[in-house]
Amino acid sequence: MGVPVLLSSMALAPAQAAPAQGSTTAAIKKTLDPQAYKDGRYIVVLAEKPAATYDGGTPGYAATKPQAGKKLDVRRNEVQRYQSHLQQQQREVAARENVSIKRDFTAALNGFSANLTAEQAVNLAKNPKVLLVAPDTQRSPDYSTTDFLKLSGPGGLWETRFGGKANAGAGTVVGVIDTGYTPSSAFFTGEPVQPLSGNPQVGVPYRTADGKIAMLKADGDTFVGECQTGQDFDGTACNSKVLSAHYFADAFLETVPEEHRAPQERISPVDVDSHGTHTASTAAGNSDVEATVDGRSFGITSGVAPAAKLSIYKVCWEDDDPNTGGCYGSASVDAIDQAIADGVDVLNYSISGSTDTTTDPVSLAFLSAASAGIFVAVSAGNSGPTAGTVNHGAPWLTTVAASSFSQELQGTVEFSDGSKYRGASIMNAEVHDAGVVLSANAASGTGNAAICAPGSLDPAAIAGKVVVCDRGVVDRVAKSAEVKRGGGVGMILVNLASSSLDTDKHSVPTVHVNPPATGEIKQKVAANPALTVSLIDHDTTGLPLEAQPQIAGFSSRGPLAASDSDLLKPDVAAPGVAVLAGVSPIGTGGDSFGFLSGTSMASPHIAGFGALILAKNPTWSPATVKSAMMTTASDVVNADGSKNTDVFATGAGHIDAARVLDPGLVYDASTEDYLKFIQGTGVDLGIPGLGSTEARNMNVPSFALGNLAGKITVTRTLTALTPGVYRASASVPGINVKITPSVLSFDAAGQKKSFKVTFENKNVALAKFAMGSLKWEGAGKSVVSPVAVRPQSVIAGRDLSFTSDQADGSAAISILSGTDSATAVTLDGLSKANSTATELVPGPAAFANDDSNVLVDAEVAEGAALAKFSVISADAQADFDLYVFTPSGELLSAATASASESLSIENPEAGTYTVLANLFASPDNRPTKASVDAAILGSNEGNATVTPNPIKLKNGKKGQITLAWTGLEPGSYIGRLSFEGTSSPTFVSVIIAADGAVAVAPEQQLGGAPAGEKLQVGERVLPDNAG
């Protein structure tokens, strides 16, 4: 409720005289009409001045009115004392009429809101302490991301830029690959689809002769889909909104026995989890849907592209084991294939992906989708704020970070000592003056009481009290359920480290807080057992609201490891914190709407924008759509309103609906460009004459260099949508940036022109990223790209291998210097591997010790810097493959056509690794000898040196250092070279062959590649294409 609501309420109130100026209270002459009051919700305004205007006069309370030009400081003791006094007066006034206060106000207004009978309203209005009693005029809360994005409402961007709400996204189909959907949701209602009468009309579905649903799209193509029947889904639910629904359950059914499938799961497109319903309704749900959560209305909401149609692809499944079930990669590939065949325009994929490769099977399937003209939005991941955690690094994907957008959903923890703490809450009832206890001090002796695990709290210790519960391990809503089980009346959920604040539907009134409030609350409660607390359903702190939008703490950050940090991800940000949308009644106990947070919630906003854009510009390529979003993005801010300049958090910035249709220039890319990029990563596609493109030269609307030494020049090509003369500028503090040419003139739309950008370190700290932007301005447009550049002291190979038959020897390592200063080198190792000799014959890979396979276990201790696993062939013409099972059950593979294979894992998890070596092929199928090695990096072993040390080379100059070893016995060894001022080390492998023996050095593979799905409990599953 804001000031306009209050003023309109006051205008409707009976006329009353104001108190005399200069006094705190005064006798008020009132003329009341009892007929003006009816049963309902009212705002009761007391005559005593609020804190913002109180200039003294009440005995014992100093003036709180701020000086001219200053703001009210609610942290001042005198302000808090006076506000507490006002609250006490309000309670006394309310108590005389047996009124329960809903909300209280003390800063801008001295009053409270309450549900009143007509008699209570009249009596309160007669009270000399009351200034007025006014109807609390209802307004829909401003809690919709479409409101925040300025799409909805009179004069909103749907109306002014996208043809009105009824046409926003018309003629497009958004495919959602997720957990399915809820056919009964108001977001997905539609009319029955009839057979075609006359000619097809854009955006109007019709039934085909074989019963499928077809629609002529804005791009002139025709979508054709069907409703796949399944459990509790007879295929009739598809309508004029949801044109198609498929499910892909083969992998789930094959790997999860029926008795271990979640009892509520439906083998059909029906969603039992809520995730898919939420993402689909966010992207393209119907408009004008009133959303109610826990009996509380949050007003009217809508999907981003309400006139777009939906096609559902269910690939994620529920079972009784968190390590199985889930979203199968093979199912996702199937779904992408189906979506391409159906003819969708946009795909949303709010499912996790790889952080260390851009060419996994799902990513390559999405390349096919992009090649078919489909815009693909994907979630960046929820592993922030840790650096290097961003998912989905491929340039043909639009990777979306999550932002906050509103602070309306807040509650307050009010202690009897006057202190207040605000946090996230959607409670529909308040708690007043209850006792409070730390959950750890109310243990039942079963389970972890600190986290309020089920059964962990002692009812005798918490009955009638508010319980402080730590976040973690147990589901948040399970914590409040445990509080309720024990008779607790409320919960303060505390984050032990700063993280998301979540608006869950709890079993008892709950406020969710972050540090530093966490520590202060716990210390306060522990120190004073007599303390009482109230949980209020709104913010009473009076503290200023934080600026919006901010990047969510959980949103995954760059840099992107998959491209050696030469691609910038994420691409763009969108709302992803406490997003209100549809949920599944099956998975929520009957709810139809709910708040969810995650980059999963941000991605469908961008998918919806893809539909909005393609409805207006159906010939735009997916890369053009992505470029328009990125180069027109607005600022993401910090809490104080300053710009967030961390482009690894924000990408290009926040989606800006007002500018996205008119970017001026775009960075376009074709299928051939993407194929060249793939070859640039080292994958040979076998396409004659294709060539390759380095990641840093991929034509994307961003610039990233993970390893800058000397000068590096990259190339981009712009395509004009608005002809004109454009001038370039760049701002990357500490980096010299030269753009050639710096002026480009475009004579016609569609014209392409290229430019080069040269980066050189000026004074940026080594091994740290400098961030900024590059901008083209002209024709009334501003085309802005994010930039991230990291200077390094030395650039050398990442993973090097050397073979010798000499116990004493040396090898030269080529380097490039990135500084004029001397660079010290630290050597760890060389550490000898444990070796297991074997001789195998060709055969299929299997988790067994047999003629074609050998299994070796290796222990990795806590804190190891590197674990390296190898199979070293004695025959250069053979083909050994290597599979490594991690302690957590992940399968990594190195299964190329090379004779030997190797996997290096930096900072490996501690535990037992199982190494499987398989002989896939050999000349004439003859038996072949090999060594299976497991090496764990230790400290300097005293058996090797590096010279020169320190390195002295001018910035940009090439040179060599020498690794020399002495007294090495036959076997394999690993070491690490750390260069001062370089962010990543160089790992080396030295193989010493026994007299007369042959050892084929493996091609190095750092980190490994995921092989197939996660392992199922009780079995080891190998990929189909082993070898």
**Per-residue DSSP letters for 896-953?**
SSSSSEEEEEESPPSEEEEEEEEEEE-GGG--EEEEEEEEE--SB-SSEEEESSSB--
Tell whether 848 and 887 lie within a shared domain: yes
Residue 394 inside a domain? The answer is yes
Both structure tokens of 356: 């260390």
- Is 572 within a domain? yes
Residue 957's CATH number: 2.60.120.380
CA distance 983 to 706: 9
Q: Is residue 675 part of a domain?
A: no
**Is 609 in a helix, a strand, or coil?**
helix
Q: What confidence score (pLDDT) does residue 27 get? A: 37
In degrees, rounded to 5, the angle at the alpha carbon of residue 447 between the alpha carbons of residues 518 and 587 is 80
- For residue 995, what pLDDT is reported? 66
User: What is the 8-class DSSP label of residue 17?
Assistant: P
Any domain includes 390: yes
How many CB atoms sit inside 10 A of residue 910's CB? 13
The reply to whether 278 belongs to the active site is no
Whether residue 580 contacts residue 293, with contact meaning beta carbons closer than 8 Å, is answered with: yes
What element of type H or E holds 796?
strand 794-796
Would strands 572-575 and 398-403 be described as parallel, antiparallel, or unpaired?
Answer: parallel
The last residue of one of the domains, among 586, 601, 632, is: 632
Give the three-class secondary structure for 239. Answer: coil
Angle (CA) 223-226-231 rounded to 5° is: 150
Q: Which amino acid is at 793?
A: S
12: enclosing H helix or E strand: helix 3-12
- Position 142 scores a pLDDT of 40
Which of 1002, 556, 658, 527 has its CA nearest to residue 800? 1002
* Structure token pair of residue 167: 């046409």
Report the largest interatomic distance among the alpha carbons of the chain, rounded to a whole angstrom: 112
DSSP track, 83-150: HHHHHHHHHHHHHHTTPPEEEEE-SS--EEEEEE-HHHHHHHHHSTTEEEEEE------S--HHHHTT
Q: Are 171 and 618 in contact (CB under 8 A)?
A: yes
Same domain, 224 and 242: yes
Which pLDDT does position 997 carry in this prediction? 56
Q: Enter the pTM of the model.
A: 0.80
338 plus 246 within the same structural domain: yes
Same domain for 562 and 497, yes or no, is no
Copy the structure tokens of residue 538: 């709104």
The dihedral region occupied by 879, where left means phi > 0, alpha psi between -120 and 50, and beta the remainder, is beta
CA distances from 8 to 3, 5, 408 (A): 9, 5, 21
Query: What is the per-residue pLDDT across 174-195, written as a single tens digit (0 to 9) for each?
Result: 999 999 999 999 999 999 999 9
Which is catalytic among the residues 287, 350, 600, 898? 600
Specify the number of domains making up the chain.
5
Which residues 6+ apart lie within 8 Å of 99 measured at CB? 114, 116, 120, 124
Does residue 846 sit in the same domain as residue 720?
no
- What proportion of the chain, given as a percentage, has pLDDT over 90? 70
The answer to whether position 140 is within a domain reads: no
Specify the pLDDT at position 16: 27
Looking at the DSSP bridge assignments, the partners of residue 551 are 403
Half-sphere exposure of residue 215, counting CA atoms within 13 Å on the CB side? 30
Residue 638 lies in a domain: no
- CA distances to 85, 285, 308 from 242, rounded to whole Å, are 57, 10, 9
Burial of 12 (0-12, 13-18, 19+ CB in 10 A): exposed
The beta-strand segments (E) located in 404-463 are 410-415, 420-424, 431-438
Query: CA-CA distances (angstroms) from residue 222 to 200, 201, 204, 219?
Result: 9, 10, 11, 9
- Closest-CA residue to 173 (of 629, 611, 612): 611
Burial (0-12, 13-18, 19+ Cβ within 10 Å), 309: buried
Identify whether the C-beta of residue 539 lies closer than 8 Å to the C-beta of residue 453: no
612 sits in which H/E element: helix 599-616
DSSP letter assigned to residue 756: E
Instruction: Kindly state whether residues 800 and 930 are assigned to the same domain.
Output: yes
* C-alpha distance from residue 45 to each of 131, 342, 412, 880 (Å): 5, 61, 21, 82
Going by DSSP bridges, is the β-strand pair 289-293/296-301 parallel, antiparallel, or unpaired? Answer: antiparallel
Per-residue pLDDT at 785: 98
Which of 100, 135, 170 terminates a domain? The answer is 135
Based on the fold, state whether residues 921 and 890 are members of the same structural domain. Answer: yes
CB 781 within 8 A of CB 664: yes
Question: Which pLDDT score is estimated for 13?
Answer: 29
CA-based Rg of the chain, rounded to a whole angstrom?
32
* 343 φ/ψ sector (left φ>0, alpha ψ -120 to 50, else beta): left
CATH number (domain holding residue 625): 3.40.50.200
CB-side neighbour CA atoms (13 Å) of 6: 14
CB atoms within 10 A of CB 725: 11
Scan for tokens 């906050």, then name that residue. 404
- Domain span at residue 838 reads 794-1010
Active-site residue 152, yes or no? Answer: no
CB-neighbour burial class of residue 150 (10 A; exposed 0-12, middle 13-18, buried 19+): middle
Q: Which residues of 751-787 are buried (b: 16+ CB within 10 A; e: fewer)?
A: eeeebebebbbeebebbebbbbbbbbbbbebebbbbb
- C-alpha–C-alpha distance, residues 986 and 434, integer Å: 60
**876 with 1006, same domain?**
yes
Residues 275 and 371 in one domain: yes
Give the domain CATH number at 753.
Answer: 2.60.40.2310
Give helix 361-371 / helix 671-680 axis angle, nearest 10°: 160
Tens digits of per-residue pLDDT, 471-501? Answer: 988 889 999 999 999 999 999 999 998 877 8
Question: CB neighbours (10 Å) of residue 845?
Answer: 22
CB contact at 8 A, 533 and 466: yes
Which regions of the chain are under pLDDT 50?
1-29, 138-142, 1004-1027
Picking from 580, 608, 632, the residue at the C-terminal end of a domain is: 632
Check if the beta carbon of residue 967 is closer than 8 Å to that of residue 832.
Answer: no
d(C-alpha 499, C-alpha 812), whole Å: 47
Q: What whole-number distance in Å separates Cα of residue 254 and Cα of residue 827?
A: 49
**Do 367 and 468 reside in the same domain of the chain?**
no
Q: What is the pLDDT of residue 996?
A: 52
Spatial contact of 644 and 635, defined as CB atoms under 8 Å apart: yes
User: What's the CA gap between 531 and 269, in Å, rounded?
Assistant: 52
| CATH number assigned to the domain comprising residue 502 | 3.50.30.30
* 750 and 869 belong to one structural domain: no
Residue 62 lies in a domain: yes
Judged by DSSP in three states, 385 sits in coil
Active site residue 178: yes
The reply to whether 382 and 424 lie within a common domain is: no
Which residue among 246, 275, 605, 654 is the active-site one? 275
Which residue type occupies 153?
Answer: G
User: Which of 147, 178, 828, 933 is the catalytic position?
Assistant: 178
Q: Are 681 and 696 in contact (CB under 8 A)?
A: no
Burial class (CB in 10 A: 0-12, 13-18, 19+), 467: buried
Q: Residue 583 falls within a domain, yes or no? A: yes
81 burial via Cβ count (<10 Å: 0-12, 13-18, 19+): middle
